[in-house]
Amino acid sequence: MLMKKCKIVMTILLTCLLLGNTFGSVAVKAAGVSGNQAEQTVETMAKADEYKAFWFSYYDYDAYRAKYKKRNASTFKKYFTQVVKKGKSIGMNCVIVHVRPFGDAMYKSKYFPWSKCISGKQGKNPGYDPLKIMTSVAHANGMKIEAWINPYRVAAGSANYNKLSSKNPARKWHKNKKTRRNVLAYKGSLYYNPAKAQVRKLIVNGVKEIVQNYDVDGIHMDDYFYPTFSSSNVNSAFDAKEYRASTMAKSKKSIVTFRRQQVNILVKDIHGAVKAINPNVTFGISPAGNIDNLTSRYSYYVDINKWLNSSDYVDYICPQIYWGFKHPYAKFDKVTNRWMKAAKSKKVKVYIGIAVYRAGHNTGAGSRERREWKSDANVLKKQVQYARKKGCDGFAFFDYQDLKSRTSAKAVKRLKKVLK
């Protein structure tokens, strides 16, 4: 009798399990899920409002200039239409366009000279307004667009002020002894001095004119903040002079605290300026992916924990987690976990920056990661699925050129299956 009851119970349990699997499968199909989505579990499927962006960097303007001998509004519109349609075909819903890579502008600016990346020479008018065309094309194709600025970078790989446009505020400030320290040379490059109020005002005004004059959906900044120092010069280089004259130095606060404060003031001012003009325009930052580097006493001076746990600084953070699952110490999953834990207050959205430019290439730290990027065509897809499991709000992919390259084609094709 006991054996008979056990058999009945086991039969009932097995039937329930089988029916559960069947009903679960039916429920997914009944919900109208596509074939691509059917390959995923519920927790790895995209949310309806998921942010799926790709970066369009200054390299991509160089590609435009290389492709077209005749460069005008018509050819640029044709080129950027191809860009947007390519992004849409993969499943993207936002494009992040570089508008200030080197203290210059991809639009008609009151404060900054025309960018050499669009006209070939800084200060030279290309004869059309790229940002105006890009916003029009993006919206006409149902895609959002964010304007991407590098706030402090003036010139990379050159500290020669004479190479800058005569209209460049950095060159003008350098000529005047009273304003010379608004711009600093460090390790062969030029930077705006984060500790100067005039610099902050210039950067904020540059953001304001974009939001006021162009139909952008957001303002975006990446990871170019302070340069990297060493133990031998951290207390003496760059803006150390401004620190020594500050009230923070007099009150025995460290130069690290001082530098973080300069970045915080700028970020908070930009956020406030954007929201005052249009509360619907977002402001987000894409910092380097390694939190230890961001919080180091030698570089960046990004107060990431404050930004993640306040509504006064940014609407989103998009860490550049440009490593594979096989990286020896910065594994994609471990780094993603750390970011999601840091953002547990849910005050800002967290998007994950993904390195499409590595897919298909023999790149990485160590043989295992190099093999992963080179040979695993599912690497990008798996990164998206993993981050979704951990509750991220979206993704940004670097960069447009790599989304259409032959080298990364297999990985992008697999990625498309989880984005569309």
What confidence category does residue 40 fall into, taking pLDDT thresholds of 50, 70 and 90? low
| pLDDT at residue 36 in the model | 53
369: tokens are 């990661």
Q: Considering the domain boundaries, does residue 18 fall inside one? A: no
Asked if residue 38 belongs to a domain, the reply is no
* Range name among 5-19, 143-157, 189-203, 236-250 with the lowest pLDDT average: 5-19
What is the reported pLDDT for 39? Answer: 56
pLDDT digits (tens, 9 = 90+) for 335-375: 999 999 999 899 999 999 999 999 999 999 999 999 999 99
Residues 6 or more apart in contact with residue 266 via CB below 8 angstroms: 151, 194, 200, 203, 204
pLDDT at 17 over 70: no
d(CA 161, CA 144): 36
Angle separating helix axes 73-90 and 58-67, nearest 10 degrees: 120
Mean pLDDT (whole number) for 218-240: 96
Structural domain includes residue 178: yes
Q: How confident is the model at residue 46 (pLDDT cuts 50, 70, 90)?
A: confident
pLDDT given at position 33: 47
Q: Which residue has the higher pLDDT, 39 or 112?
A: 112
Is the model's pLDDT at 20 over the cut of 60? no
Task: Work out the percent of the chain whose per-residue pLDDT is above 90.
Answer: 87
CA 335 to chain centre: 16
- Residue 24 in this model has a pLDDT that exceeds 80: no
Surface-to-core class of residue 365, CB atoms within 10 Å of its CB (0-12 exposed, 13-18 middle, 19+ buried):
middle
φ/ψ region of 123 (left if φ > 0, alpha if ψ in -120 to 50, else beta) reads left
Q: What is the pLDDT of residues 382-417, one digit of tens each?
A: 999 999 999 999 999 999 999 999 999 999 999 999
* SS3 (DSSP) at 130: helix
**What CATH number is attached to the domain comprising 347?**
3.20.20.80
Q: What is the mean pLDDT of the chain?
A: 92
Asked if pLDDT for residue 15 goes beyond 70, the answer is no
Domain range spanning residue 182?
52-419
Q: What is the pLDDT, as a whole number, of residue 223?
A: 85
Q: What does the alpha-carbon distance between residue 412 and residue 420 come to, in Å, rounded to a whole number?
A: 12
| Structure confidence at residue 43 as a pLDDT band (50, 70, 90) | low
Q: How confident is the model at residue 420 (pLDDT cuts 50, 70, 90)?
A: confident
Give the tens place of pLDDT for each residue, 100-156.
Answer: 999 999 999 999 999 999 999 999 999 999 999 999 999 999 999 999 999 999 999
Within 10 Å of residue 15's Cβ, how many Cβ atoms?
A: 10
d(CA 381, CA 389): 13
Q: Residue 94's closest CA among 220, 224, 271, 280?
A: 220
Asked whether residue 2 is assigned to any structural domain, the reply reads no
Q: What are the Cα distances from residue 386, in Å, to 26, 40, 130, 391?
A: 25, 11, 36, 9
Give the model's confidence band at 48: pLDDT under 50 very low, under 70 low, under 90 confident, else very high. confident
Decide the pairing of beta strands 51-56 and 394-398: parallel
Q: Is residue 186 part of a domain?
A: yes
The three-class DSSP label of residue 162 is: helix
Answer yes or no: is 36 within a domain. Answer: no
- In a domain, residue 14? The reply is no
Instruction: Determine the Cα–Cα distance for residues 359 and 340; give it in Å rounded to an integer.
Output: 24
- Indicate if the pLDDT at residue 201 is higher than 50: yes
What was the pLDDT predicted at 45?
78
Which pLDDT score, from 0 to 100, does residue 30 have?
A: 37
Residues 142-194 have pLDDT tens digits of 999 999 999 999 999 999 999 999 999 999 999 999 999 999 999 999 999 99
In a domain, 389, yes or no: yes
Pairing of strands 183-186, 189-192: antiparallel
Domains held by the chain: number: 1
